[in-house]
A and B are shown apart, each in its own frame.
Chain A
Amino acid sequence: MKKELICIVCPQGCRLTVEEKDGSYQVSGNTCKRGEAYGINEMTAPRRVITTTVKLEGGRCPRLPVKTRTDVPKELIFDCMAKINQVTVKAPVKMGDVVLADVMGTGVDVIATRDM
């Protein structure tokens, strides 16, 4: 099986071809190692970083921007959003502070992306 993909690892957007042979994957068209990993992941267990906001109290904005520290399984995006949406953070907060640990049991923390 052969699949054409566009790599989302960086803005370059390389056009990848992923070929499956007996359970192993061959990636071509990539210009870096991360592209290869993306190609294989995308065929087996696609993952995405979630970037969103949480409620912030006492800050200069009513919302704090946050992200999952690394990517999480794509199929858990909406479940993770539901968990993240429950969080309220009090200012002050520092970039990198964990606002929600181990979201949905993924082992990935949700962290602040701006001092507030």
Chain B
Amino acid sequence: MIDVAIIGTGVCGAAVARELSKYRDLQIVCLEKDTDVANGTSKANSGIVHAGYDPKPGTLMAKYNVKGNAMIRQLAKDLDIPYRQNGSLVVAFDDEDMKTVQALYQRGLENGVPDLSVIDAQEVRRLEPNINPDIKGALYAKSAGVISPWELAIAQMEVAVQNGVEVRLETEVTGISLCGDHFEVTVKTNQGTEVLETKFVVNAAGVHSEEVCSYISKPNFHIVPNKGQYYLLDKTQGALVERVIFQCPSKVGKGVLVSPTAHGNLIVGPDAVDVDNAEDVSTTAQQLAFVRNTAARTCNKINYRESIRNFAGVRAQGTVDEFIVGTVPETDRFINIANIKSPGLTSSPAIAVDVVSMMGEAGLPLKEKDDYVKTRQIVRFRELDEAGKQRIIEKDPRYGRVICRCETITEGEIVAAIHAPIGARTVDGVKRRCNAGMGRCQGGFCSPRVLDIICRETGLKPEEIRKDKAGSNILIGQTPKGQDKASV
């Protein structure tokens, strides 16, 4: 019997898994329908660690945001996750906006946001010389930052796995029933269906959380997937702004942000459009134009010729303006983490702490391990100094072979990503773990080599290697050569 089944391996599922893995004698299983962890909303968002002035005081969002912000700082350090506390500005273009800035400032104080101030136009221009000069002022939040969102999830999941948690990929939950003191969870895999018995269920299924909840309880929330589209630009544009630059939320919309990413690129976006299909992450010419035009209010120096990628993510947003974190009326052993929209990424570690204590109250024995592995470290070759580079190549010559030219990622790092606790099996999986293929040529040069290395390390055939999702095979087979021999 499983003790806790966690459905979904985004930032919330991963945070709960890591939090739970601190305790001994628990069998914890994470169920993920996709080919990799963190492959939904968690991999396609702005990657912002919000300060916490935005949510209404007294909400779970406000509480978890401010708490999560501080936790992420420590997590990034412990788990070696690309993160930068670069601060954020909410810029005001007119007097109306300045009123909003003041209101956000007051809200931030109420929420307990540290290092918050309202600054004048001159100070904004001094801090951010490249943004448009005709601004009135801004809210400056020093505690805000940027993080690699998928690495926040992957790193936590890796730590969880090292501490005994099991992750089952390509395992889709198709039904759950409450059977007295346990649940029966039906899962579908490429091997067929299987029924798992578990004492607790954590529903961290993101855009699918309503459906998962409905197996056990009539949901008190309704998810309306909401899509946001982005531009990701070359690192040549990454220093255009130093901080996360938000526009004031207004009747017209939330505005779009312009920000460096934790990896040093520039990100511009998102828009916000409700969609019918939660898996629809397509981009559209119209909305990308909207993103560009709206961002131009903040900064008109963005060179879109340096764009390296467009992407879209779907927010697991609901009709209620609040996170849903808690048990259902039918049982206190089924816990929803739903409606996790912005600031969900920032809030996730704080949510996990509460979720675990809820399970404790419901009878899950929480006895701390003596041998809990708290930290994770990975080699980032290009960040090493000369001597460090020399040392690592001497230890393992594969670190001397640069595979991804644009990001200077070595064979050693790619092999490490493949043999990590949740090893990459796809080309994009490698990209998310070590950045190979994330640069300006978008894998043009390195993807054949990465594919080759995955085959060598896993024994998979080239035509079995996928770009990312199910069915995303890169090659369809060998060229029809040497047929004489094949027929003999």
Contacts and interface: CB of A to CB of B under 8 A. Distances in A.
Interface of A: 53-55, 63, 85-88
Contacts of B485: 55, 88
A88 B479 contact: no
Nearest to B481: A55
B479 A87 contact: no
Interface residue tally on B, bucketed by range? under 10
The binding surface of chain A is classed by DSSP as: strand
Nearest to B480: A85
A60 to B, nearest CB: 13
Contacts of A87: 481-482, 484
15 contacts: A54-B481, A54-B482, A55-B481, A55-B482, A55-B485, A63-B481, A85-B480, A85-B481, A85-B483, A86-B483, A87-B481, A87-B482, A88-B481, A88-B482, A88-B485
Interface of B: 479-485
The binding surface of chain B is classed by DSSP as: loop
A85 B483 CA distance: 6
Contacts of A63: 479, 481
A81 to B, nearest CB: 9
Contacts of A55: 481-482, 485
Contacts of B479: 53, 63
Contacts of A54: 481-482
A114 to B, nearest CB: 16
A54 B485 CA distance: 12
A55 to B, nearest CB: 3
Closest 5 CB pairs of A and B: A55-B482, A55-B481, A88-B482, A86-B484, A88-B485
A86 B481 CA distance: 6
A49 to B, nearest CB: 19
A87 B484 CA distance: 7
A53 B484 CA distance: 15
A63 B480 CA distance: 11
B340 to A, nearest CB: 47
A3 B479 CA distance: 37
Q: Which of A53, A86, A87 has the most CB of B within 10 A?
A: A86
A88 B479 CA distance: 13
Contacts of A86: 482-484
A87 B483 CA distance: 7
A55 B478 CA distance: 10
Contacts of B480: 85
